[in-house]
Structure 1
Amino acid sequence: MTEKTDTRTRILDIAEAAVLEKGFEATSIDEIVAGAQISRGGFFYHFKDKNALARAMLERYIAVEDALYDDLFARARELSDDPLHSMLIGLKMLAEMLADMPNGHPGCVIAATAYQDRLFDNGVRELNRQAILSWRRRFRGMFEEIALVYQPNEDVNLDALGDMVSSVVEGGLVLQRALRENNSASEQIMLLRTYLKLLFSPRAN
């Protein structure tokens, strides 16, 4: 890793921790500079302003989340070719992963950005929007596969169901942080898992 990349990563790490703790508005460039032990010029060498910093933080967060989902659900599919069962396995793996974090998940950059979107330009807002739409498409595609095999027991909008996965996961992280309860997100995911079993499992005659 080059010194330039290392400094940029350090800035992002410090900024993300501060933003998740108290929000973008309360996080100053001066405190990031002090934490990274660089000059203000060093900060602006990597990020021209807080919009650029927010965009980089979002891009990194989205990439990490996408890689996590890719890995979890690929492993789940290896364990079962049945689309419903593999979805249920993937959700359980996700819940267990979050429960195993000793200090809990640090929080959601997507939520932190959305709550204070007035601080950012249209580019940052659109990046946030596209990330959420991407997760909708990801999970809707999985539910479409399931619905080909298992007729839902109730009429359901698959876009809304796809959004439900994101809202349960990301919303669970928000609740977890607010309540200081490390298992909140995991418990919410397991409840979603139960709902999906009830929604798609064949009814007994």
Structure 2
Amino acid sequence: MRKGEATRERILDIAQASVLEKGFGATSIEEIIAAAGITKSGFFYHFRDKNELAYALLNRYVTEDMRILDEVFGRAADLCDDPLQSFLVGLKLLAEVFADLPGGHPGCMIASVCYQERLFDRRVIELNRTAVVAMNARFRSYLEAIAAVYPPREPLDLDTLAEMISCIIDGGIIMSKVMGDPNRLVRQILAYRALIKQHFSPPQEMASRPPPLAA
């Protein structure tokens, strides 16, 4: 990596850590410059203003998120051809990825932008919405493949079910931070996994389970 590229990445690393800790509004260009050990002109060489910094942060964050999902669910697909079992394995692997993060998930850049949309121009806001749509479409495609083989046990809106995982991840991050318990996010993903298994498992599999013990 060239020196200019390394400096740009260092600026983004510092800015991302600050934004996820206290938000865009409380993160100043001056503190980023000081932490990066560069001049003001050095910062503005890479980013014209805070909007451009926000766009770069969000774009990098979304790209990394998609890479992780490609890796996790791609690995699950390699392990199992069945769409339901593959998705269940993928959710388990995703939960393990989050469980292995030291100190828990640092936060969601998409949520950070959403909470403070008025700070940004239309390009940043549109990128944020596009990222959410792409995430939902990805999970919708998994659920469509499952439903084609295993019709749901009761009528379900696949769009809503696909959106749930994004809501669970963002909500789980917030709950984990508020409660000081990083594993809350992991438990929420595993609960979603159990919900998917319950709704799409073949009837014979559900019938073969032993009855619950009497209270």
The TM-score range, normalised by the shorter chain, is over 0.9
Q: CA deviation at 1:180?
A: 1.7
- 2:13 alignment partner AA: D
Q: Secondary structure at the match of 2:203?
A: coil
Q: CA deviation at 1:8?
A: 0.4
Give 1:2-81 correspondences, 5 Å limit: 2-81=2-81
Q: CA deviation at 1:179?
A: 1.9
**Cα offsets for 1:63-100 (capped at 9, x unmatched):** 00000000100110111100000000000011011112
- 1:197 alignment partner AA: K
Q: Secondary structure at the match of 1:102?
A: coil
Runs of 4+ in 1 over 3 A off after TM superposition: none
Q: CA deviation at 1:158?
A: 1.2
Kindly tell me the number of residue pairs found equivalent between the two proteins: 205
In 2, are the aligned partners of 1:14 and 1:32 still within 8 Å (CA)? yes
- Of residues 130-139 and 159-168 in structure 1, the stretch that sits farther from structure 2 once superposed is 159-168
Task: State the alpha-carbon separation in 2 of the partners of residues 57 and 112 from structure 1.
Answer: 11
**Cα offsets for 1:157-205 (capped at 9, x unmatched):** 1111111111112221122122221111100000000000111112346
In 2, are the aligned partners of 1:15 and 1:32 still within 8 Å (CA)? yes
Task: State the alpha-carbon separation in 2 of the partners of residues 133 and 201 from structure 1.
Answer: 27
**Cα offsets for 1:139-167 (capped at 9, x unmatched):** 10010000000011121111111111111
Q: CA deviation at 1:108?
A: 0.6
Task: State the alpha-carbon separation in 2 of the partners of residues 17 and 182 from structure 1.
Answer: 17
Structure with bigger gyration radius = 2
Q: Give the TM-score taking structure 2 as reference length.
A: 0.93
Q: CA deviation at 1:107?
A: 0.9
- 1:88 alignment partner AA: L
- 1:39 alignment partner AA: T
The unaligned stretches of length 5 or more in structure 1 are none
In 2, are the aligned partners of 1:137 and 1:162 still within 8 Å (CA)? yes
Task: State the alpha-carbon separation in 1 of the partners of residues 9 and 170 from structure 2.
Answer: 24
- 1:66 alignment partner AA: M
In 2, are the aligned partners of 1:114 and 1:128 still within 8 Å (CA)? yes
Task: State the alpha-carbon separation in 2 of the partners of residues 122 and 132 from structure 1.
Answer: 15
**Cα offsets for 1:3-54 (capped at 9, x unmatched):** 1101100000000000011000000000000000011111111111111000
**Which residue of the partner structure matches residue 163 of structure 2?**
163
- 1:130 alignment partner AA: T
**Which residue of the partner structure matches residue 213 of structure 2?**
none
| CA RMSD across the alignment | 1.0
